[in-house]
Amino acid sequence: MDIGFIGLGLMGRPMARHLIGAGHQLHLWARRPASLEPFRATTARAHGSAADLARHADVVITMVADAPDVEQVVFGDGGVAAGARPGLIVVDMSTIAPAAARDIGARLAARGIAFVDAPVSGGEVGAINASLTIMVGGEAEVFERVRPLFDVLGKSVTLVGASGAGQVAKACNQILTGVTVAAVAEALSLAAKSGVDPAKVRQALLGGAAYSRILEQHGQRMLERNFKPGFKAWMHHKDLGIVMAEAHRLGLMLPNAAATAQLFNAIVGSGLGEEDSVTVLKLLERANGP
């Protein structure tokens, strides 16, 4: 397939490489030309605008930061919609608000362009290993047409429901991951303050009902004090903001999500937003003292 890809950041870069490796012809455009440099020696073709990219694509994938970024590259001057060919499918794999996904889908449908929202979980490691979890919202027929691309990028692909449903699933995912990362940091902080080896405590907990992949993977990163971003804290802060906006819209009480959102708000406010989300451990250490 001819695939347009926009968003060659921490996760988009390895995702694009997997699609090239699977034999697809990639068409690239980037708001920052430096993002194209790693692809100079590949079969990918660079284009001067998102519209020009769309003229050559059967499917356009966007992997950007938030809804305003999606809207800019799709509907802005020289955007995807301006160059779309008949039958084009736009796949947004960013994490944005469900309402924004539904609105983008409706606006594209009015132009005869199909749309699915397909946010992912797994971070940079999942993108590199092609082991992402992909949560999809959209029409079943469109989903089946792009399913082969998802199978290249992830190990778990689920059509959750209609447009926006993928983003609802991702919001739920961010509640669970955010709350659990914070809980692991609290547990390891308690162990250290009690004079007990946090590594031994983690080892013990991994063998019981407290086991989780976050305790296993993120807990190890905390022990190693490896704060190099695999998923930046500011992005989790943004995602929890989506969660809380949905909670307000629906009149839901989500107390654990709300408390965790405040923790990530403090992380960003403390200047730690560019580090991995496990930097919540640093925040607790600052609050609780050495």
Q: Would residue 200 show up in a list of annotated catalytic residues for this protein?
A: no
Provide the 10 A C-beta neighbour count for residue 50.
Answer: 28
Helix axes 67-75, 98-109, angle to 10 degrees: 10
Which residue, chain included where needed, has tokens 């989500």? 254
3-class secondary structure per residue, 9-75: CCCHHHHHHHHHHCCCEEEECCCCHHHHHHHCCCCCEECCCHHHHHHCCCEEEECCCCHHHHHHHHH
Please pick, among 155, 170, 193, 282, the residue that the annotation labels catalytic. Answer: 170
Nearest to 60 by CA among 36, 33, 94: 94
Burial of 49 (0-12, 13-18, 19+ CB in 10 A): middle
Which residue, chain included where needed, has tokens 């950007």? 64
The catalytic site residues sit at 170
